[in-house]
Amino acid sequence: MITVYVGAFINPKSFSKVDFINHGMVSVDDQTGRINSVQQFESAEALQTAITTLSTDHKLVKLSPEQFLTPGFIDMHTHAPQYRNLGLGLDYTLLEWLQKVTFPEERSYARQPHESPSEHNARVAHIYGHMVRHYLRYGTTTCCYFGGLHAEANRVLVQQVVQLGQRALIGKTCMDCNSPSDYVESTADSVQATREFVEYVKKCDASLEIPGRVLPVVTPRFALTCSRDSMEKLAEIAISTDVHIQTHMSENLDEIQFSKELFPECHNYASIYSSVGLLTRKTFLAHCVHLNEAQRALLSNSGTAVSHCPTSNFALNSGVADLRALAAAGIPVGLGSDVSGGYGLSILDAMRQAIIASKTLHFSDQKSKPLTVSEAFFLATRGGAEALSIDVGSFEEGNFFDALLVDMTNCPSIRHQHETLEQSLHRFVFLGDDRWIRTVFVNGTALL
Ligand SMILES: Nc1nc2[nH]cnc2c(=O)[nH]1
Ligand SMILES: [Zn+2]
Query: What pLDDT, on the 0 to 100 scale, is given for residue 199?
Result: 98
Mean predicted lDDT score pLDDT of the chain: 97
Q: For residue 97, which ligand has an atom nearest its CA? A: 1
Ligand 1 within 6 A of 248 CB? yes
Residue 26 has pLDDT above 80, yes or no: yes
Distance in Å, CA 247 to ligand 1 centroid: 9
Q: Give per-residue pLDDT as tens, 367-414.
A: 999 999 999 999 999 999 999 999 999 999 999 999 999 999 977 777
Nearest to 218 by CA among 250, 195, 184: 195
Q: Give per-residue pLDDT as tens, 81-125.
A: 999 999 999 999 999 999 999 999 999 999 999 999 999 999 999
| CA-to-CA separations, 244 to 171, 279, 284, in angstroms, rounded | 9, 10, 8
pLDDT band with cut points at 50, 70 and 90 for residue 297: very high
- The contacts of residue 184 (CB under 8 Å, 6+ apart) are 149, 175, 176, 177, 225
Query: What pLDDT, on the 0 to 100 scale, is given for residue 214?
Result: 99
73-388: CATH architecture: Alpha-Beta Barrel (3.20)
Residue 323 has pLDDT above 80, yes or no: yes
Percent of the chain at pLDDT exceeding 90: 96
Query: What pLDDT, on the 0 to 100 scale, is given for residue 420?
Result: 95
The predicted model gives 160-181 an average pLDDT of 98
Ligand 1 within 6 A of 341 CB? yes
- Which ranges of 371-445 would DSSP assign to H, the alpha helix? 373-378, 384-388, 421-431
Intervals of CATH 3.20.20.140 along the chain: 73-388
Q: Give per-residue pLDDT as tens, 234-286.
A: 999 999 999 999 999 999 999 999 999 999 999 999 999 999 999 999 999 99
Distance in Å, CA 30 to ligand 1 centroid: 39
CA 219/CA 246 separation, integer angstroms:
5
Asked if 202 and 183 count as a contact pair (C-beta separation under 8 A), the reply is no
Query: What pLDDT, on the 0 to 100 scale, is given for residue 413?
Result: 76
Q: For residue 105, which ligand has an atom nearest its CA? A: 1
| CA-to-CA separations, 44 to 25, 49, 216, 417, 419, in angstroms, rounded | 11, 9, 44, 17, 16
| CA-to-CA separations, 18 to 266, 375, 418, in angstroms, rounded | 41, 8, 20
Percent of the chain at pLDDT exceeding 70: 100
Lowest pLDDT segment from 57-61, 154-158, 271-275: 57-61
Ligand 1 within 6 A of 79 CB? yes
Intervals of CATH 2.30.40.10 along the chain: 2-71+394-446
Distance in Å, CA 205 to ligand 2 centroid: 25
Ligand 1 within 6 A of 382 CB? no
Distance in Å, CA 212 to ligand 1 centroid: 27
Closest residue by Cα to atom 5, ligand 1, is 248
Q: Give per-residue pLDDT as tens, 187-242.
A: 999 999 999 999 999 999 999 999 999 999 999 999 999 999 999 999 999 999 99
Best mutation site among 94, 272, 337 for ligand 1 pocket (most ligand atoms within 8 Å of CB) = 94
Ligand 1 within 6 A of 77 CB? no
φ, ψ at 446 (rounded to 5°): -75, 115
Distance in Å, CA 92 to ligand 1 centroid: 13
Q: For residue 246, which ligand has an atom nearest its CA? A: 2
The predicted model gives 346-369 an average pLDDT of 97
Query: What pLDDT, on the 0 to 100 scale, is given for residue 174?
Result: 98
Nearest to 137 by CA among 312, 341, 355, 344: 344
Q: Ligand 1: which atom is nearest the Cα of residue 82?
A: 10
Reported ipTM: the value is 0.99
Distance in Å, CA 390 to ligand 1 centroid: 25
Kind plus residue range of the DSSP H or E element containing 187? helix 187-206
Distance in Å, CA 318 to ligand 2 centroid: 12
Distance in Å, CA 287 to ligand 2 centroid: 8
pLDDT band with cut points at 50, 70 and 90 for residue 62: very high
Ligand 1 within 6 A of 312 CB? yes
Fold category of 2-71+394-446 in CATH: Urease, subunit C; domain 1 (2.30.40)
Closest residue by Cα to atom 4, ligand 1, is 248
Inter-helix orientation angle 187-206/228-241, to 10°: 20
